[in-house]
Structure 1
Amino acid sequence: MGATPQRIRRTRKRHWTALLGAAALAVTAGGALAAPATAAPVDVDYPTHCVPPPIAGIPPIDGTTTGRITVDNAAPEVGDTVTVTYTVIKPAASNPTDLALPADIMTPTGKVTLGGAQTGSVTVTGPRKNDPVPGKGPFPAFSMTGTFTVTAPGAITLSPGDYNIHTSYILELDTPCTVTDPPAPVSETVTATDDPPANTRALALGSASGAPGAAVTVTGTHFTPGASVTLAGRSGAAQTADTATVTANAQGGFSGSLVVSDRTTTGIVAYEGGAWSAERGAGPVAYAVVDDTPVPDGSQKLTTTVRAGTLSMSQAGDAVRLSAVDFGTGGASTGDLRTVTVKDFRGGPAGWSLTGKVTDFTGPGARIDAGKLSWTPACATEAGSPSTCRAGSAGVVGSAGATLASAPDATLTGGEFTADARLSLDVPAFTPPGTYSGVLTLTLT
């Protein structure tokens, strides 16, 4: 499938060095109860009608389900894919038989209802994983995930929908549960923004260098037909006094001449409107002023070169010990990510993105799903850096990954940055005692 314009723009940022880092995370079940997570998700109750398998010989169950919806991106753009997690915290149904059910025989599926700016439903599925269920005992909590593509701007509400519990033990049985009075209460809301159309404006120069005061031919395409276009020199992140104006023809093209006198010029841009913007312009295209002024008698001309560096990162450590939780209680196991330092010494126009994804946490006879790990990112910019870093959104990390920090594209980028995050692992209540470890991998692009 071809890349959308949005994906193409984002890919341009990533044609630079990529470095990998990994941090091992560990949590011990059976110790002191950890402090609660800093941002609790929205839990909602809703009546459900559950139909046990006919073999159970019992009537339908009308009860209350407690559910929660979370997303990996609460502020997407139109065209983005959002990952949705539907957690049934307390199912209305229970084991319909006197037979105890062993671990890892339940496979849940369900629906999440969309409302507001975008309607429809999201199909979600969960892994075949569960704690043992005693005869006639309540079904344990479970989570299901799915994705949807944002098609409209505005507030999109997400409500828990119908779900089904499939058990594979001796017999293949289903217990479907439907929302009695749909839709269920809203558990999560995402606010989508318009994805602006791709900027296809392009620029070409008749030459890459010239003497002070020389004219360079500037050719542009895909500008707005009939628009007034400013040609200008750039000196790093600033515009110089060297400017000219041309008018785009009926096809959006133009050819003009710009006299470049400023000896500090490093590039040339063309743009519509009263000031330069990446959304309505093209460039900068590299241009160098060759200063061929004769050296006076008795003088020496001194020159130097500033070499472009690399994009790199380093970590303050590769292991994080999360706080312990109690068996039977579970809850938030918390800790702090080892500080990551990003150095962008490339000197080009590209920004960067630092993302992370985590494996399942494995331990003695059980696993804690990767989707149980959430973080609250933070980042800081070293004084004097041309770029300013932005922290990623708080939320689930999971195996799909999430953004820890980033810096946008700009005319001139670079600097030093530090990224941190508060970590919280939601440990299920009856996770067997022991130490559980997962690996969080960080990628800089």
Structure 2
Amino acid sequence: MGQKPQKPQTPQRSQRSRSSRGRRRLALLGAAVLAVTAGGALTAPASAAAAGDVDFPTHCVPPPIAGIPPIDGTTTGRITVNTTSPRVGDTVTVTYTVVKPAASNPTDIALPADIMTPTGKVTLGGAQTGSVTVAGPKKNPPVPGRGTFPSFSMTGTFTVTAPGAITLSPGDYTIHTSYILELDTPCTVTDPPAPVSETVTAADNPPANTRAITLSSASGAPGAAVTVSGSDFTPGATVTLAGRSGGTQTADRATVTADAQGNFSGPLTVNDRATSGVVAYEGAAWSPDKGAGPVAYVVLDDTPVPDGSQKLTTTVKAGTLSMTQAGDTVSLSAVDYGTGGASTGALHTVTVKDFRGGPAGWSLTGKVTDFTGPGATIPAGKLSWTPACATAPGSPSTCQAGSAGAVGSAGATLASAPDAARTGGEFTADARLSLDVPAFTPPGSYSGVLTLTLT
């Protein structure tokens, strides 16, 4: 018997078959963007591995739609920082580079550029424990069919809270793709923590100097004794009382001992006519970190009046050190959810008036709280500023702007004027503000309080 001829397929059925295959191909394309395979090759030769590169086993889970089981592969990671010698309170910027992902394109379909957005964690150990959230930009070169996924980098920050050696190890990472479908491929460290890739050694921040002195009198004839009273010195410390003329110590000198509460009271005989202020300090020499003052003191002119003459005197009254602000609310620019970045603005102008007279300078500092919002917090260390200051004409002092950098909860200097033989004047201080908002911070309004202190 002959074989029965097959009935030709109708054009309509052929069209449905092609359409069905196309849909399956489309679904596979979307799911396979980050399907994982073990042992993918680097985009650069393996011999080019940089110092700090570490290998660690990784368990990666492809999107369920790909129909591919989890794969255990090896990731090569590298951690770098902007400083390896921070101080407690400083903000450290961390970059986590996945040199060799444990993932490759398992299909023959080429993937376009700029579809991959990585996020991850860096593990802290040693003197400070915890993790740092890092994120990278949506940027990648095209990936050919069956090609390896490229290296990518993610950045984040953390605030140093303890002195000592802090280790940084690569942690889990996730690659999100936005091509046809929105898909995630999480890769976790199989045996955490991964090897240490970088170490920073943090120095302790000395506590704020709250030492202070007062004088029993603001003036006296040569040879008169003025009582110097102090507080917040080191209990039991030997404290030197000394005359100052601008930045130079005069011949007037005495010592006292602080009591168990760090207080003292003792006389300083002032003979040197050059003395224009009085300081007190611990240690062998004056140090602003362990001293207080200068407080203005005037040595009176006691030259005898010649016969037939009249001595005329007047008084210039000392004023105060004060500041005013041009406003108390700053609205920073908005940023986009998922992208984050710099939220910028300008500090309201602060006017400083120093009408005290005498040799003492001043310092204007600021510190900020965390920014709180709907279900999330932006750390205080994310706020940085670029200070500027100006001196009004005729002012004896000249103000100096503080350094650009993070403000944080530990604080930073906005502006200052140094000690000198004669100080005073009017000054204005400003700053450009920038808040580094992490990517995917929940939408909403976030606020923190910046407190300025003039001393």
Q: TM-score, normalised by structure 1?
A: 0.53
- Looking at structure 2, the residues matched to 249 and 348 of structure 1 have their Cα atoms a distance apart, in angstroms, of 26
Q: Aligned residue for 2:188?
A: 178
Q: Aligned residue for 1:85?
A: 95
Counterpart pick for 1:187 among 197, 205, 210: 197
Aligned-partner residue type, residue 74 of structure 2:
T
Q: Aligned residue for 1:201?
A: 211
Q: Aligned residue for 2:292?
A: 282
Preserved CA contact (<8 Å) 2:296 2:360: no
Question: Aligned ranges for residues 292-311 of structure 1 at < 5 Å?
Answer: 293=303
Preserved CA contact (<8 Å) 2:244 2:279: yes
- Looking at structure 2, the residues matched to 249 and 179 of structure 1 have their Cα atoms a distance apart, in angstroms, of 56
Decide which moves more: 163-172 or 241-250: 241-250
Q: Deviations over 1:142-182 (max 9, x none)?
A: 22122223232211111111111011222111111122333
Q: Evaluate the alpha carbon distance shift between residue 409 and residue 92 of structure 1 in structure 2; reply closer, same or farther with a 3 A threshold.
A: farther
Aligned-partner residue type, residue 205 of structure 1:
L
- Which structure: larger Rg? 2
- If each structure's helix is expressed as a fraction of its own residues, which one has the higher value? 2
Preserved CA contact (<8 Å) 1:51 1:175: yes
- If each structure's strand is expressed as a fraction of its own residues, which one has the higher value? 1
Question: Aligned ranges for residues 119-134 of structure 1 at < 5 Å?
Answer: 119-134=129-144
Q: Aligned residue for 1:230?
A: 240
Counterpart pick for 1:263 among 265, 269, 273: 273
**Greater relative contact order structure (CA < 8 Å, 6+ sep):** 1
Counterpart pick for 2:74 among 64, 67, 81: 64
Q: CA deviation at 1:188?
A: 1.0
Question: Aligned ranges for residues 241-390 of structure 1 at < 5 Å?
Answer: 241-289=251-299, 293=303
Q: How high is the sequence identity, in percent, across the aligned residues?
A: 78
Q: Evaluate the alpha carbon distance shift between residue 110 and residue 235 of structure 1 in structure 2; reply closer, same or farther with a 3 A threshold.
A: same
Preserved CA contact (<8 Å) 2:295 2:360: no
SS at 2:206's partner residue? coil
Q: Aligned residue for 1:155?
A: 165
Q: Aligned residue for 1:9?
A: none
Q: Evaluate the alpha carbon distance shift between residue 293 and residue 136 of structure 1 in structure 2; reply closer, same or farther with a 3 A threshold.
A: farther
Preserved CA contact (<8 Å) 2:174 2:185: yes
Q: Aligned residue for 2:104?
A: 94
Q: Evaluate the alpha carbon distance shift between residue 116 and residue 256 of structure 1 in structure 2; reply closer, same or farther with a 3 A threshold.
A: same
Q: Aligned residue for 1:380?
A: none
Q: CA deviation at 1:259?
A: 1.9
Aligned-partner residue type, residue 187 of structure 1:
S
Q: CA deviation at 1:201?
A: 0.9
Q: CA deviation at 1:125?
A: 1.6
How many residue pairs get aligned? The number is 275
- Looking at structure 2, the residues matched to 295 and 73 of structure 1 have their Cα atoms a distance apart, in angstroms, of 66
Q: TM-score, normalised by structure 2?
A: 0.52
Q: CA deviation at 1:247?
A: 3.7
Q: Deviations over 1:99-133 (max 9, x none)?
A: 43333322211111222222322221222232333
- Looking at structure 2, the residues matched to 57 and 243 of structure 1 have their Cα atoms a distance apart, in angstroms, of 85
- Looking at structure 2, the residues matched to 169 and 273 of structure 1 have their Cα atoms a distance apart, in angstroms, of 67
- Looking at structure 1, the residues matched to 256 and 360 of structure 2 have their Cα atoms a distance apart, in angstroms, of 28
Structure 2 unmatched ranges of 5 or more: 1-49, 308-358, 365-402, 409-415, 422-455
Q: CA deviation at 1:198?
A: 2.0
SS at 1:55's partner residue? helix
Preserved CA contact (<8 Å) 1:49 1:177: yes
Preserved CA contact (<8 Å) 1:73 1:82: yes
Q: Evaluate the alpha carbon distance shift between residue 152 and residue 250 of structure 1 in structure 2; reply closer, same or farther with a 3 A threshold.
A: closer
Q: Deviations over 1:299-358 (max 9, x none)?
A: xxxxxxxxxxxxxxxxxxxxxxxxxxxxxxxxxxxxxxxxxxxxxxxx986899xxxxxx
Q: CA deviation at 1:141?
A: 2.0
Counterpart pick for 2:55 among 28, 45, 60: 45
Aligned-partner residue type, residue 278 of structure 2:
I
Structure 1 unmatched ranges of 5 or more: 1-39, 298-346, 353-391, 401-407, 414-445
- Looking at structure 2, the residues matched to 221 and 242 of structure 1 have their Cα atoms a distance apart, in angstroms, of 21
Q: Aligned residue for 2:321?
A: none
Aligned-partner residue type, residue 149 of structure 2:
F
Q: Aligned residue for 1:115?
A: 125
- Looking at structure 1, the residues matched to 160 and 78 of structure 2 have their Cα atoms a distance apart, in angstroms, of 20
- Looking at structure 1, the residues matched to 127 and 255 of structure 2 have their Cα atoms a distance apart, in angstroms, of 42
Q: Evaluate the alpha carbon distance shift between residue 206 and residue 79 of structure 1 in structure 2; reply closer, same or farther with a 3 A threshold.
A: same
